[in-house]
């Protein structure tokens, strides 16, 4: 892996990237794996903080992967201190899971002319959390499991409304799903060609993450998508992760049967990740921004903005 630097920040980038690479080398996409979770009782959610707020970005991938590997059923996580403040305790012998906090601070420096200039300096901090299944003595509501959804039709209708509210032009026909920047539309195969409704909306979510990245929306550079295999791999990584975030937010659990293009995508993602230890962080951040953008197009989001 190239561009390795010393220090704890570089170690976090390297450690997490190597973990994702190890999963991909086994043919497992860590952001998709939870859909096969037998202990989810038909419900999949983003991992939650101790206060019920969902995690975002790369931390979703890290905690989903850890929950699946260790069989945790609870979606909720907290630090050792947060558990202690609730008069609870982490069971002896339990090991925690690494999550990251990324931000930036402003530093004032003196330039070559003796003047003061401000410079934004990004930083990355790693800390440890524990799943509620590893903690004893918490208030009862931390151990409650969500009830299985009884009416899946209503959930799919909600997904239909969600994508309609984005305003994206969605056309149906042919056998391929793609976003066409030149005409600014999403092309989908006919609904009835999918194995089930959930699979249709999972693929639509993938294409709408591409759609959100257009130059007049989030302005993700898609100009080299068809010219540069590395850029295409990066963009497909963003869309694949973003689609999984959307599925969790919309309560969709598609049967993720392998698609013919997945093997080649995984191979291309491995090449990107092995050459750039920050690529998975950037992809998760772009995916999070795209999903937030799509949520921001919903009527309730507009109402909340007006109220604020």
The predicted-structure confidence for 237-275, as pLDDT tens digits, reads as follows: 999 999 989 988 998 876 555 555 566 778 888 899 988
Supply the pTM of this predicted model.
0.78
Nearest residue to 204 (alpha-carbon basis) of 174, 251, 171: 171
pLDDT in tens, 21-74: 888 887 777 676 444 444 344 456 789 999 989 999 999 989 988 887 787 878
pLDDT of residue 80: 96
Half-sphere exposure of 63 (CA within 13 A, CB side): 28
**Sequence-ordered list of residues with C-beta below 8 angstroms from that of 186, at least 6 positions apart, any chain:** 168, 169, 170, 171, 177, 178, 179, 180, 204, 207, 208, 210, 211
**Sequence-ordered list of residues with C-beta below 8 angstroms from that of 209, at least 6 positions apart, any chain:** 238, 239, 242, 243, 246, 287, 290, 291, 294
pLDDT of residue 36: 43
Query: What H or E segment, with its residue span, contains residue 279?
Result: helix 279-296
Cα–Cα distance, 214 to 285 (Å, whole number): 16
pLDDT of residue 302: 60
pLDDT of residue 280: 92
On the question of pLDDT at 308 being above 70, the answer is no
End-to-end CA distance of the chain: 46
pLDDT in tens, 178-225: 999 999 999 998 888 888 888 899 999 999 999 999 999 999 988 888
pLDDT in tens, 147-173: 655 566 666 889 999 999 999 999 988
Percent of the chain with pLDDT over 90: 43
């Amino acid at each position: 892996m190239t561009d390795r630097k010393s220090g704890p920040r570089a170690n976090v980038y390297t450690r997490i990237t190597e973990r994702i690479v190890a999963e991909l080398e086994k043919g497992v996409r860590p952001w998709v794996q939870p859909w096969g979770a037998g202990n989810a009782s038909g419900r999949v959610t983003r991992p939650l903080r101790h206060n019920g707020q969902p995690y975002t970005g790369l931390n979703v991938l890290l905690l989903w992967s850890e929950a699946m590997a260790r069989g945790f059923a609870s979606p909720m996580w907290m630090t050792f201190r947060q558990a202690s403040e609730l008069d609870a305790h982490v069971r002896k012998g339990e090991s925690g899971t690494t999550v990251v906090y990324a931000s930036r601070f402003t530093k004032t420096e003196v330039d070559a002319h003796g003047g003061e200039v401000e410079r934004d300096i990004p930083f990355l901090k790693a800390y440890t959390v524990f799943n509620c299944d590893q903690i004893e003595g918490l208030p009862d509501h931390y151990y409650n499991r969500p009830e299985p959804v009884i009416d899946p039709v209503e959930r799919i209708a909600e997904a239909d409304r969600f994508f309609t509210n984005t305003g994206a032009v969605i056309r149906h026909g042919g056998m391929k799903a793609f976003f066409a920047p030149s005409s600014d539309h999403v092309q989908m195969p006919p609904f009835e060609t999918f194995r089930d409704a959930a699979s249709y909306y999972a693929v639509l979510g993938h294409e709408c993450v591409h759609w959100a990245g257009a130059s007049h929306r989030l302005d993700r550079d898609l100009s080299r998508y068809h010219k540069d295999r590395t850029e295409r791999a990066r963009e497909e990584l963003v869309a694949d992760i973003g689609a999984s975030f959307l599925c969790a937010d919309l309560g969709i659990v598609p049967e993720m049967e392998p698609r013919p293009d997945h093997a080649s995508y995984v191979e291309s993602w491995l090449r990107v990740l092995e050459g750039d230890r920050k690529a998975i962080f950037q992809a998760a951040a772009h995916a999070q921004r795209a999903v937030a953008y799509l949520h921001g197009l919903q009527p309730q989001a507009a109402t909340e903005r007006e109220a604020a």
